[in-house]
Amino acid sequence: MIRTFVSSLLALAVVTVPPPRPHVQPVLTGTVSNSSGQPVQGAAITVRDLVAQVITGADGKYRTPLPDSLRGRNLVISARALGYQPQSTTIRVAGDSVVANFTLATSPLTLDQVVVTGAAAVQERRVLGATVATVGGNEAKRPRTPVQLQGEPDYGTEVYGRISENTFRSARQVPLSTFSIDVDRASYANVRRFINSGQLPPADAIRLEELVNYFPYDYAAPTSDDPVHFNADVARAPWAPNNRLVRIGVQARRVPLEKLPPSNLVFLLDVSGSMSSANKLPLVNEAFRMLVDQLRENDRVAIVVYAGAAGLVLPSTPGSSKAEIRAALDRLEAGGSTAGGAGIHLAYRVATEHFIEGGNNRVILATDGDFNVGASSDAEMEALIEAKRAGGTFLTVLGFGMGNLKDSKLEKLADRGNGNYAYVDSPLEARKVFVHEFGGTMLTVAKDVKLQVEFNPARVKSYRLLGYENRLLNDQDFTDDRKDAGDMGAGHSVTALYEIVPTDRYAEPKNTSIPLRYQDERPLPRASGTTGELLQIKMRFKERDGSKSREVHTIVEDRLSPLRGEFAFATAVAEYAMVLRGSKHAGSASLASALARAEGSLGEDVHGYRRDFLGLVRQTIELRERVASIDRR
């Protein structure tokens, strides 16, 4: 009887205990309309402290997932659209769904005209619907160009450097691969800007390594006195399972904000007519205000602007005088032609006058890159930047806006100045550059960082470096300390990926003038000491104030690891870039597989960068389908 009673209780328990509630990620949804009740297409919805951004569709609606960590928190959500006043609201994440609707009031763009002829001389004109550029007394009207949301691409006068994709190279014929590291992230934000505006980016705007390196990775930090440390691992290539994929991760020393040396900064701001649109100078102002918030009492800031001529609008001022610095930023207006050369000369002169020994001396240039008026040629500007770099004053370059971006020029200037190049497409990207990555943006800890990989022909038939096409070096450049290479800021990480076609047969190495580890090996006998080695990696770098490089190296065994975590996420970004570029080496790659792998390897996504990538891939899939539909008509 007791047994029967217990059985009844167990049966009752089975019936009455509800199944566990499945995990549901919170979702933000809503609609953006104008004051007439019409939907607003292309409005950007952002959440403060997250980089994630979603764009409204033709019906004015949007939808985006939120990190679980935001449950129970108040969110500041903003809606922005060209031709409308921005609007923000605060909503608490109380359940699984958050709804934020916006009604935007129209705000016709007023384009401001300024010709800077000195520190205080300013001539201003206001014209609705056009920019009037005053150059030598002549006026030229430039009508506003509407943002193109779909159909045939229109890249305006944007300029990108030609990228010839790396191909597979024989490990026997070309046993060495040498390149400079790259910490720029501009390409990812620029690609995102294209996708958000309803356009597929030009292939040369897609620099694979910059997309992969946009995201922070948790690599082991240096434990010695070296400013940088690296390691490597091997997995199967997702788009070619018979091939190997080698990931090299380089990590720079992390420096707490309070331990950063004092900064001597000069903001060099383009206020020419090409900067007058809402996503240029107004965004520059917002971005630099974030940087001002990070300044300390022992930091100093000066502001130089240039249009028809260059002018000093704020002399070098202590970082504690934040109100004075912000007021100077707020006074800036846009207009005139661009005397970029004169502006750079003046900015470096101011930086030199207030040089801090042992400090962070840096010019920060913000522009769309249109240096079309001025006495200095590109070569002269680059020579000046290189000379000042040798003296300890570095250059950070920020690109803004659309339709006029001179991407290739800005990247080159940053390279010459031992700095980094970023593209700012939103206030959230500005927060990433100036707040979340402040140390890496502001302080260089290692200069001229180069990598050289030697492949074992007993294990490697051929190999291909993914990306870094404009960072390739001659093999002899690796030990040449006169050869400039990439620099790493505090806390920066760099990822490089090699795809390898393996071989089980021994291939005779090619003789070279450079001593090779595998040149005289005959790894046919299994007892040979290097038969299990896939490759050797060497890294050279200089200390921040050094002139002579040091070398470290490691051996990578032909041992496969599971493709998961951050390695898997990096391959998802690389796969996305290959598909978007139309790479002939993409194999079975697809946007769907990149999305699936990224979704399964988000990890601890503190600032929402990786979730932003998920949204970007989904938007790209929808955009490609839309473009294909138009092409079929």
CATH number at residue 577: 2.60.40.1230
Do 262 and 398 lie in a common domain? yes
* Last residue in a domain, options 104, 139, 160: 104
Domain shared by 225 and 368, yes or no: no
Q: Which pLDDT score, from 0 to 100, does residue 371 have?
A: 61
Considering the domain boundaries, does residue 17 fall inside one? no
Sorted by sequence, the CB contacts under 8 Å of residue 607 that are 6+ apart come out as 49, 50, 51, 432, 436
- 503 and 422, same structural domain? no
Residue partners of 104: CB distance under 8 A and separation at least 6: 32, 33, 34, 35, 40, 43, 79, 81, 84, 85, 86, 87
SS (HEC) of 341-378: HHHHHHHHHHHHHCCCCCCEEEEEEEECCCCCECCCCH
323, 193: one domain: no
Max Cα separation, the chain?
107
Question: For position 224, what pLDDT does the model report?
Answer: 84
Distances (CA, A) of 497 to 346, 539, 567, 573, 598: 41, 15, 10, 11, 17
Of 384, 379, 396, 404, the residue nearest 272 (C-alpha) = 404
Residues 6+ apart with CB under 8 A from 448: 180, 481, 483, 484, 485, 486, 487, 540, 541, 542, 549
| DSSP result, 307-322 | SSSEEEEEEEEETT-H
> Can you give the CATH number for the domain in which 317 is found?
3.40.50.410
Instruction: Say if residue 328 is in the same domain as residue 476.
Output: no
Calpha distance 32→28 (Å, rounded):
13
Which of 382, 408, 442 terminates a domain? The answer is: 442
* 163 inside domain: no
Judge whether 242 lies within some domain. yes
The reported pLDDT for the residue numbered 243 is 97
Domain assignment present for 147:
no
CA 597 vs CA 4, 41, 44: distances in Å = 51, 30, 26
Structure tokens at 469: 């096409």
Nearest alpha carbon to residue 243 among 596, 587, 598? 587
Asked whether the beta carbons of 40 and 60 are under 8 A apart, the reply is yes
Residues 532 and 409 grouped into a single domain: no
For the CA atoms of 116, 117, 121, 126, the dihedral, rounded to the nearest 10 degrees, stands at -40
Residue 178 confidence (pLDDT): 98
* Other Cβ atoms within 10 Å of 346 Cβ, number: 21
The span from the CA of 446 to the CA of 228, in Å, is 7
CATH number at residue 76: 2.60.40.1120
Instruction: Answer yes or no: is 512 within a domain.
Output: yes
Question: Crossing angle for the helix pair 565-581 and 591-599, nearest 10 degrees?
Answer: 160
Q: Which of 86, 104, 122 is a domain's end point?
A: 104
Say if 121 falls within a structural domain: no
**Residue 99 sits in which domain range?**
27-104
pLDDT computed for residue 438 by the predictor: 84
Identify the CA nearest to 87 among candidates 56, 58, 129, 126: 56
* CA angle (439, 442, 445) in 5-degree steps: 75
- Residues 605, 572, single domain; the answer is yes
Helix residue ranges, H only, 134-237:
186-196, 208-212
Q: CA–CA separation, 557 vs 559, rounded Å?
A: 5
Number of compact structural domains in the chain: 3
List, run by run, the mean pLDDT of 10-residue segments along the chain (633 residues): 50 50 75 87 76 73 82 86 80 86 72 31 26 28 34 70 96 96 93 91 96 95 91 96 97 89 94 83 92 93 85 94 94 73 89 95 89 60 88 93 86 89 90 87 90 96 97 96 92 96 64 69 45 93 92 95 96 98 96 97 90 94 85 67
Residues 458, 587: one domain? yes
143 in a structural domain:
no
How far is Cα 114 from Cα 351, in angstroms, rounded to an integer? Answer: 25
Fill in the amino acid letter for 38.
Q
CA distance 602 to 595: 11
What span, in angstroms and rounded, lies between the C-alpha atoms of 368 and 338? 10
Query: Domain check: are 245 and 303 in the same one?
Result: no
Per-residue burial over 571-606, b = 16 or more CB atoms within 10 Å of its CB, e = otherwise:
bbbbbbbbbbbebebbbebbbebbbebbeebbeebe
**Close Cβ partners of 190 (under 8 Å, ≥ 6 residues apart):** 201, 205, 399, 405, 407, 423, 425
Q: Residues with Cβ < 8 Å from 170, sequence gap 6 or more?
A: 461, 462, 507
> Residue 286: helix, strand or coil by DSSP?
helix
- Does residue 573 lie in a domain region? yes
Q: Pairing mode, if any, of strands 110-116 and 122-128?
A: antiparallel
Residues 479, 415 within the same domain:
no
Cα(200)–Cα(190) distance, integer angstroms: 11
User: Which neighbouring-strand residues pair with 308?
Assistant: none
For the sheet with 169-170, list strands across it.
Answer: 169-170, 460-465, 493-502, 240-252, 228-237
In terms of domains, do 391 and 481 share one? no
User: Do residues 35 and 71 share a domain?
Assistant: yes
Distance from chain centroid for Cα 10? 58
